[in-house]
């Protein structure tokens, strides 16, 4: 973890946006959209495996084994990151995106100030679209925080994963993560309508049923903000409508026309005079002309409506570049958002034992290794609660349950109950039972036959 922490620190210092780590290969960084190789920074396969085992919880480790990839967000050295772990020909690989520790405002993201008007909308659908890595999640977070500062509302977010953690200001914000707090976006949307929300945030529209439930929520008096992969407004509208069978598309078009408020297409463009990238937008508003185009299935005409909708605050990307980006005088560099800083919320993450019997009562979001002077090994933070160390499920050790739920004494275990973990017992077992039965032999699943024989022989001698 020390090596990983230093990588994150270097990426922040050098203003990299992404890091790629895979076994037996040079690390790869991305800056201003360009890929760079670090030939001096290499990880072997065992190091990558150990890192993944350290940062994943048992639930996430189980998900990785089942579908060979997993998403998570975490904090390293006060820097918020989003991580995708996936299996490749080189073994496990990590794709890491650096995120701001606090939610940046619309102005500091160099976005058009008209986006602040979204905070005033009480119902309808706002789509924020773009390619992967175009900053959709950050823009959504800035819009949500604008609502949070502007009015009293109940905001529920459905995310995959949770990237920005919000502090409730004027609004009350609750965040749910796919795979941790809900099994699917579909179930999350079914649940949220019973949770009295004013604003619903849907991390990504993928499946038709999720799209339908999103439209239903927007039609029923809620403001719904959602992201979609699309490169222009026409593409976004087609993606929504054509995801359904032909017989259902007319109904979907009428729903979409009724609910649509904004469509924002975002991409990042490099400006030489600034030396960094800035968001370039195409903005369509839910005017009567745009709604009519959708109802009548004349979607190719939407670009013309945007060109003629200047008075309504609509922009094509060409006009946005010419009339806004090239005339704006003060830009904020992205490095301002990625400086190491404490997260805006210091709330501990609580995992109810009613949901996950083996889960931690509290879990620190900060994974910041500390050198243990006695053992000479790395351990997690010991600020009253033990760090979450992802033991493989079913390894026969009682340490997992204890370490995830009880205070740390400096080595990840409490002094009073350390014998239970060392003996491989669950903490419900009595000390007498441990003393009577003696320590258990824990088999290493990756050991060779010769190593297993030696392990069994040594265990017998110890007894």
Strand partners for 177 = 159
Q: Do 94 and 126 lie in a common domain?
A: no
Q: Do 192 and 321 lie in a common domain?
A: yes
Q: Do 88 and 153 lie in a common domain?
A: no
Helix (H, G, I), strand (E, B) or coil at 188: helix
DSSP class of residue 336 equals: G
Q: Is residue 107 part of a domain?
A: no
Which residues have C-beta within 8 Å of that of residue 187, sequence separation ≥ 6?
none
- For 129, phi and psi rounded to 5 degrees? -125, 160
Place of tokens 């009339």: 323
Q: pTM value?
A: 0.72
Q: Do 317 and 378 lie in a common domain?
A: no
Q: What is the DSSP string of 381-426?
A: --SSS-----PPTT-S-THHHHHTTS---SSSS-TTTHHHHHTT--
Q: Is residue 341 part of a domain?
A: no
Q: Do 30 and 128 lie in a common domain?
A: no
185-192 helix and 208-219 helix, angle to the nearest 10 degrees: 20
The CB density around residue 44, as the number of other CB atoms within 10 Å, is 12
If phi > 0 it is left, if psi is from -120 to 50 it is alpha, else beta; for residue 276 that is beta
246-259 helix and 233-241 helix, angle to the nearest 10 degrees: 130
Q: Is residue 105 part of a domain?
A: no
Q: Are 290 and 305 in contact (CB under 8 A)?
A: yes
Cα distance between residue 139 and residue 103, in whole Å: 9
Q: Do 447 and 320 lie in a common domain?
A: no
Q: Do 233 and 93 lie in a common domain?
A: no
Q: Is residue 343 part of a domain?
A: no
The CB density around residue 449, as the number of other CB atoms within 10 Å, is 7
Number of independent structural domains in the chain = 3
- The CATH number covering residue 215 comes to 3.40.50.300
Q: Do 68 and 118 lie in a common domain?
A: no
Sequence-ordered alpha helix ranges (H) in 194-280: 208-219, 233-241, 246-259
Cα distance between residue 452 and residue 449, in whole Å: 5
Token reading at 119:
């905070």
Cα distance between residue 307 and residue 266, in whole Å: 17
In SS3 terms, 19-35 reads as: EEEEECEEEEEEECCEE
HSE (side-chain half, CA atoms, 13 Å) at 207: 8
Q: Are 236 and 129 in contact (CB under 8 A)?
A: yes
Q: Do 222 and 267 lie in a common domain?
A: yes
Q: Do 266 and 394 lie in a common domain?
A: no
Q: In this predicted structure, what is the pLDDT of residue 461?
A: 55
Q: Do 315 and 414 lie in a common domain?
A: no
Structural domain of 424: 348-463
Cis? peptide before 424, omega within 30° of 0: no
- The CATH number covering residue 52 comes to 3.30.450.90
Q: Is residue 29 part of a domain?
A: yes
Q: Block means of pLDDT (10 residues each) for the chain, length 463 residues?
A: 88 88 93 87 94 91 94 83 94 91 90 97 97 92 97 96 91 92 94 96 95 96 97 96 95 97 96 93 97 96 96 97 95 77 66 70 45 36 33 38 40 42 40 45 64 65 50
Q: Do 127 and 87 lie in a common domain?
A: no
């Amino acid at each position: 973890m020390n090596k990983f922490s230093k990588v994150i620190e270097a990426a922040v210092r050098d203003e990299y946006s992404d890091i790629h780590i895979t076994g037996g290969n040079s690390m790869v960084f991305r800056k201003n959209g360009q890929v760079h190789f670090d030939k001096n920074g290499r990880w072997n396969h065992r190091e990558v495996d150990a890192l993944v085992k350290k940062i994943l919880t048992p639930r996430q480790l189980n998900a990785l084994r089942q579908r060979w990839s997993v998403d998570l967000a975490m904090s390293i050295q006060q820097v918020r990151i989003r991580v995708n772990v996936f299996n490749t020909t080189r073994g496990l690989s990590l794709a890491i995106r650096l995120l701001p520790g606090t939610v940046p405002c619309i102005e500091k993201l160099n976005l058009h100030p008209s986006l602040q008007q979204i905070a005033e909308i009480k119902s309808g659908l706002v789509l924020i679209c773009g390619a992967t890595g175009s900053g959709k999640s950050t823009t959504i977070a800035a819009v949500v925080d604008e609502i949070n500062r502007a009015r009293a509302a109940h905001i529920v977010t459905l995310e995959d994963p949770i990237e920005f953690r919000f502090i409730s200001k004027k609004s009350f914000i609750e965040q749910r993560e796919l795979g941790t707090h809900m099994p699917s976006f579909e179930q999350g949307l079914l649940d949220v309508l019973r949770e009295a929300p004013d604003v619903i945030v849907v991390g990504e529209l993928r499946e038709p049923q999720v799209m339908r439930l999103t439209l239903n929520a927007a039609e029923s008096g809620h403001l719904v903000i959602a992201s979609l992969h699309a490169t222009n407004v026409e593409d976004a509208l087609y993606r929504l409508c054509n995801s359904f069978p032909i017989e259902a598309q007319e109904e979907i078009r009428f729903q979409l026309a009724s609910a649509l408020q904004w469509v924002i297409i975002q991409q990042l463009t490099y400006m030489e005079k600034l030396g960094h990238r800035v968001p370039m937008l195409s903005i369509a508003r839910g005017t009567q002309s745009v709604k009519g185009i959708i109802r009548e299935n004349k979607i190719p005409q939407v670009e013309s409506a945007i060109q003629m909708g200047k008075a309504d605050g609509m922009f094509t990307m060409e006009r946005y570049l010419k009339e806004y980006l090239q005339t704006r005088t003060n830009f904020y560099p992205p490095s301002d958002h990625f400086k190491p800083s404490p997260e805006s919320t210091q709330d501990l993450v609580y995992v109810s034992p009613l949901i996950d019997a083996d889960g931690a009562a509290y879990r620190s979001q900060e994974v910041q290794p500390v050198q243990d002077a006695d053992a000479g090994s790395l351990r997690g933070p010991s600020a009253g609660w033990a760090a979450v160390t992802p033991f493989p499920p079913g390894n026969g050790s009682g340490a997992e349950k204890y370490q995830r739920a009880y205070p740390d004494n400096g080595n990840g275990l409490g002094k009073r109950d350390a014998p239970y973990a060392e003996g491989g017992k669950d903490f419900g077992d009595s000390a007498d039972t441990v003393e009577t039965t003696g320590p258990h032999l824990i088999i290493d699943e990756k050991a060779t036959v010769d190593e297993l024989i030696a392990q069994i022989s040594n265990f017998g001698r110890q007894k």
